[in-house]
Amino acid sequence: DQQVKQNSPSLSVQEGRISILNCDYTNSMFDYFLWYKKYPAEGPTFLISISSIKDKNEDGRFTVFLNKSAKHLSLHIVPSQPGDSAVYFCAASTQGGSEKLVFGKGMKLTVNP
């Protein structure tokens, strides 16, 4: 069974607008969450993370929000740029991120100029 779910396979937005990528999880033991970006023919690269003791973490244009009661997190990209077009993976871990990561299926983001 999938412990980390990204239910929307794709998202298309206009350059300059906000991109919102969603992720749900089922395992209440997860306490550390990460987002990775992946371009074709490359490995995923780390984007941003959040610990369960926080509900928001910001890094430049990227903000991750965590709603523990709903077991839901989201990644906001503002403003979106064409170079952001990639597949985004949500991942979760226990023990503050020291244990192995569990990944979602990914969501393909396309930012149109």
Partner 1 sequence: EADIYQTPRYLVIGTGKKITLECSQTMGHDKMYWYQQDPGMELHLIHYSYGVNSTEKGDLSSESTVSRIRTEHFPLTLESARPSHTSQYLCASSVGTAGYTFGSGTRLTVV
Binding residues for partner 1 (CB under 8 A) = 2, 4, 9, 32, 34, 36, 41-46, 49, 89, 96-98, 100-106
- Residue 9, phi then psi, degrees to nearest 5: -75, -20
Shortest Cβ distance from residue 46 to partner 1 (Å)?
A: 4
Compute the distance between CA of residue 68 and CA of residue 92 in angstroms, rounded to an integer.
13
* Assigned token pair, 61: 């244009």
* Assigned token pair, 20: 């919102």
Shortest Cβ distance from residue 64 to partner 1 (Å)?
A: 13
Shortest Cβ distance from residue 6 to partner 1 (Å)?
A: 8
